[in-house]
Amino acid sequence: MRTAAAALGAYLLLSFFGLNPFRANQVETLLPVQVLTVTGGRTVRLETDNGLAGEGPDYPSAMARLKASAPGQAFFGTCGAVVLCPGARAEDAASDPDLRPNTAVFRCARTPPAGELPQRLSQEEGGLSLLQLRQGSRDAPWLIQTEGGWLCLGAS
């Protein structure tokens, strides 16, 4: 009983000082993202498969605008693929703490419509992960549009 009370007290104390490492979600407001496309250039543009978008001078501000304009909570925990389009900096995606380390990274010569990609990319098992990107690897598979749809080149 004493142990339980001590554990509860410690938990409340951590929560009071904002040190609780667990962040609760309101699940009904979540907008799960499966694919994120990043386009660079003068402005960075982010698009997700569920219709969210954000633009900004750099990646963090584009992400902040994407989150602010979302009708709920943009949830990147389910994001399975990041597509780096022309001008996109790989380091930006690699340093995004919202993306999971095993998120697959692809490159594309032009910005694809993100809504078309989840089903196609879920079939790709190999390729470069965000963790490998963080560790310095740069050999991401390429997405090429063909008559039959999107083709992935370079994935194992």
Q: Please report, as ranges, the residues that interact with other proteins according to CB under 8 A.
A: 11, 22-28, 30, 32, 34, 75, 77-78, 80, 100
Q: How far is the CB of 72 from other proteins (least distance, A)?
A: 9
Residue 117 C-beta: closest distance to other proteins, Å: 13
Taking the C-alpha atoms of residue 56 and residue 130, their distance in angstroms, rounded to an integer, is 22
Q: Which is nearer to other proteins, 7 or 153 (CB)?
A: 7
Give the position of tokens 């979600």: 25
Query: C-beta of 97: minimal distance to other proteins in Å?
Result: 13
Helix (H, G, I), strand (E, B) or coil at 35: strand
Q: 């997405």: which residue's tokens?
A: 143
Calpha distance 43→141 (Å, rounded) = 24
Give whichever of 3 and 146 is closer to other proteins, judged by the CB atom.
Answer: 3
Report the alpha-carbon distance of residue 107 to residue 122 in Å, rounded.
15
Closer of 75 and 107 to other proteins (Cβ)? 75
